[in-house]
Structure 1
Amino acid sequence: MSNYKKNSISLVGAVGLGTGVMISAGIFALLGQVAELSGTWFPLIFFIGSIVTAFSAYSYIKLSQQYPSAGGIGMFLVKEYGKGTISASASLMMAFSMIINQSLVARTFGTYTLQLFEGEQPKWLVPLLGVVLVVVAFLINISGNSFIQTFTSGASLIKIIGLVVFAVAGIWVADFALAPAEPGSNPPDPTFISYIASVALTILAFKGFTTITNSGAEITKPKKNVGRAITLSILISLVVYVLLASAVSSNLSITRIIEAKDYALAEAARPAFGDYGLWLTVILAIIATVTGIIASVFAVSRMLAMLTNMKLIPHSHFGMPGSIQKHTLVYTVALAMILTIAFDLSRIASMGAILYLIMDMMIHWGVFKNLRITVKANPVIVLSAFVLDGIVLVAFIWIKLKTDLLVVAVSVIFIILIFIGERFFLKNETQST
């Protein structure tokens, strides 16, 4: 475990990691998808998503205070359910949801970068640029914790300031008229269920706070600073999300936001600020996606390394030199590249939301059933988080069953394969020992 450097990540560095993951694809790629499900009042959905996330964060903060660990969620699940199929499978679901998020960020990077060029560009350029970003994230991650937290913290501060300035300027151009977006021609007609389902995507935009828990053993004074970092990251992201959503809502109709859903923020810059605004938005998107994927790769590789050391997941060196952490880093970026090439933004986001919400519910149930006394958690808050996640998940799956059955089918099959694979692996592992 010598690769985990105690006290190597400060409170500011931890907040930088959290906001680095959150304020990336969270606003640039998901804003249009949220508008598609919720219509004219979509900025409010981000606020509702933050409330659901706050309930969820409570469990993670309580667990982090009791069990600060570089394994983060993997360690939490072991404490809740023991070393078995449930904890191993849920841990892998979390890891895969984070890798899925990396591919979401990567494709967002490609989509926004192409906005700098006039005319329609070949579609294959989006995944190609995304793969390039994943490679860059890999190279930066092998440089060590100190550089990562310095880079992500500095870049996160730049992008947050830039995005807030952009949002305020966009609202100013609209004469501070914070009214719902104009519907446009043939706007969607959201139902109550679609409103609830849209919250699932905003939760995906906030889930980057879990990156902080995966670095618990490396954060200074983890019992205090993990909770502080999570709270600050969520609050900072909420302010940025609501401001940006309001700016887009003030400058584009719902129909136009949906048409340009993969690059809605860049599209909103065109009428408000012209070419200069477009360039600024794309530059901020590039900074946001770069920091997001670097921080996410950092967290996932360490989580997988911890699970490997705990003998909860299979591992092969494939002839590679170096530590297990370096190997899991390679596996992480390789899978992220495959997903970046194989799926579009909407499907990537949907799969990530389904996997994350199921895993999140397992975390809350484990706290409520097995650890609420140990970690001194309020059972009402924990159970509320479980129920809220369940309501949002059911609504989201219901909408996707009607609009994109393939996403639900692939997600269900993937989850079943994870459980079967872990059951088989752990059974053999037990017999061999």
Structure 2
Amino acid sequence: MSQYKKNSITLIGAIGLGTGVMISAGIFALLGQVAELGGKWFPFIFILGGIVTAFSSYSYIKLSNSYPSAGGIGMYLVKEYGKGTLTAFAALLMAFSMVINQSLVARTFGTYSLQLFDMDESSLWVPVLGVILLIFAFIVNISGNKFIQSFTSFVSLLKIIGLLIFAGAGLLVTNFALSPAESTGQSPETSIASFIAAIALTVLSFKGFTTITNQGEEIVKPKKNVGRAITFSILISLIVYILLAWAVSSNLPLNEIIQKKDYALAAASEPALGNLGVWFTVIIAIIATISGIIASVFAVSRMLAMLTKMDLIPHSHFGMPGKIQRHTLVYTIVIAMILTVLFDLSRIASMGAILYLVMDMIIHWGLLTKLKQKVDFNRFIVIGALILDGLILLAFLWVKIKTDILIVIISIIIMVLTYLGERWFLKLSQS
């Protein structure tokens, strides 16, 4: 796209983009990981994640009402902290977490696609199929806003209907019995820390609502509709998550959900609906991940373009023709491809959760301390969001330090290098 177009995205289109990102990675890639950390009552962790997200989204809604912009979070950070190192650092953390989410969705696409051919999820075809999906997302994203919102809105509706059919059928088989997943001696013990840490992954599954803020300049009546789109996207996703988690919990024992965590939804469909159920679920997963990757790429490339235009991040054309937006789109896809090849689903999700929660806390702190005279908001809700973020981040880091310290170290290195790199770049550009 060569430029931003005001009033080019409707309320329905914005909701489609938000749910497109959320429902793709959230339920397909993360449900099994949430069960692994949260234990047999894992469906209720999605409710807790929805509550945490509701607190968090309040800050974004208030900021979008005051500063609707295609830069979204990047613009909010500029308003909070000015054009300095902290702004660039936090904005890049958000961009990185979104790109990480794209690789998460891409690998999910590969993992579920292989279930149609009874191939192992450790196959090299997982990253290969993920890379192919990312290339397809690039092609769609150079087709224009009108096509993107129409495509994602239609596909989002299609996958939501499909997932609700699956959830309804799965619950019908068990007579809608509200019971936890059956635990066995093989199931890991759940501690308070791991239960709280599981909420971090559900928050990651909801974070797609932030992509809506990046269309602020293009959404019809943004001061009213950005907040509406965020609210409806979270509510729709929450309902879908709860029903699906409940259906999986009712049809599979906990140890099997954990064992097949990368494709838990497909595994749960077999005892409930047979082989046809597996095919149906995998096809819905493929549709969901396609729409999710397109919507996510659409948002992050625009935020990076805005940061580039504000001279907050370095940029090189590398000989490519066209506008900056096209270049940032290419960078986004290439980085996502690298992550898709190098990391598995669990580590991708962990890194994304850590970077996102740190950025989220910076947003809340800036609103609370820097814009209290300029934006009308309830400080107790923002303080609550800050405390909840901090609590689940600490719990998640504690659990990961004990089980996979490498991904914690990698996440910290990324944050340190990003901060120091931005400080060096801004110092050079201002001298």
Q: TM-score, normalised by structure 2?
A: 0.99
Q: Which amino acid aligns with 1:196?
A: I
* 2:47 maps to 1:47: yes
Shift of 1:121: 6.7
Report what 1:338 is aligned to.
Answer: 338
Matches within 5 A, 1:403-414: 403-414=403-414
Shift of 1:372: 2.5
> 5+ unaligned residues in a row in structure 1: which ranges?
none
* 2:254 maps to 1:258: no
* 2:216 maps to 1:216: yes
* 2:85 maps to 1:85: yes
* 2:168 maps to 1:168: yes
Name the stretch that deviates more: 182-191 or 330-339: 182-191
Report what 2:68 is aligned to.
Answer: 68
**Identity percentage of aligned residues:** 68
Q: Which amino acid aligns with 1:421?
A: G
Shift of 1:175: 1.2
Shift of 1:119: 4.8
Measured in 2, the distance between the counterparts of 1:186 and 1:420 equals: 45
8 Å contact kept, 1:301–1:325: yes
Measured in 2, the distance between the counterparts of 1:337 and 1:120 equals: 21
Measured in 2, the distance between the counterparts of 1:371 and 1:2 equals: 33
8 Å contact kept, 1:16–1:149: yes
8 Å contact kept, 1:23–1:205: yes
Change (3 A) 1:319 1:215: same
Matches within 5 A, 1:127-146: 127-146=127-146
Q: Which amino acid aligns with 2:8?
A: S
Shift of 1:205: 0.1
Report what 2:11 is aligned to.
Answer: 11
Q: Which amino acid aligns with 1:211?
A: T
Measured in 2, the distance between the counterparts of 1:410 and 1:176 equals: 43
Name the stretch that deviates more: 173-182 or 354-363: 173-182
Change (3 A) 1:91 1:113: same
Matches within 5 A, 1:231-310: 231-310=231-310
Name the SS for the 2:69 alignment partner: coil
CA RMSD of aligned residues (A): 0.9
Measured in 2, the distance between the counterparts of 1:287 and 1:209 equals: 19
* 2:356 maps to 1:356: yes
8 Å contact kept, 1:88–1:312: yes
Measured in 2, the distance between the counterparts of 1:185 and 1:395 equals: 25
Name the SS for the 1:223 alignment partner: helix
8 Å contact kept, 1:110–1:127: yes
Name the SS for the 2:225 alignment partner: helix
Shift of 1:122: 6.2
Measured in 2, the distance between the counterparts of 1:248 and 1:417 equals: 40
Q: Which amino acid aligns with 2:175?
A: D
* 2:99 maps to 1:99: yes
Residue by residue over 1:107-166, the C-alpha shift from the partner in whole angstroms, topping out at 9 and shown as x without a partner, is 000000000012547611000000000000000000010000000000000000110111
Which portions of structure 1, spanning 4 or more consecutive aligned residues, are displaced by more than 6 angstroms?
A: none
8 Å contact kept, 1:372–1:378: no
Measured in 2, the distance between the counterparts of 1:400 and 1:329 equals: 32
> 5+ unaligned residues in a row in structure 2: which ranges?
none
Measured in 1, the distance between the counterparts of 2:163 and 2:411 equals: 33
Name the SS for the 1:24 alignment partner: helix
Report what 2:366 is aligned to.
Answer: 366
Measured in 1, the distance between the counterparts of 2:119 and 2:294 equals: 30
Residue by residue over 1:408-433, the C-alpha shift from the partner in whole angstroms, topping out at 9 and shown as x without a partner, is 000000000000000000000001xx
Shift of 1:217: 0.4
Residue by residue over 1:320-368, the C-alpha shift from the partner in whole angstroms, topping out at 9 and shown as x without a partner, is 0000000000000000000000000000000000000000000000000
Measured in 2, the distance between the counterparts of 1:121 and 1:204 equals: 22
Q: Which amino acid aligns with 2:377?
A: A
Measured in 1, the distance between the counterparts of 2:122 and 2:356 equals: 32
Name the SS for the 1:217 alignment partner: coil
Residue by residue over 1:6-34, the C-alpha shift from the partner in whole angstroms, topping out at 9 and shown as x without a partner, is 01000000000000000001100100000
Measured in 2, the distance between the counterparts of 1:118 and 1:58 equals: 44
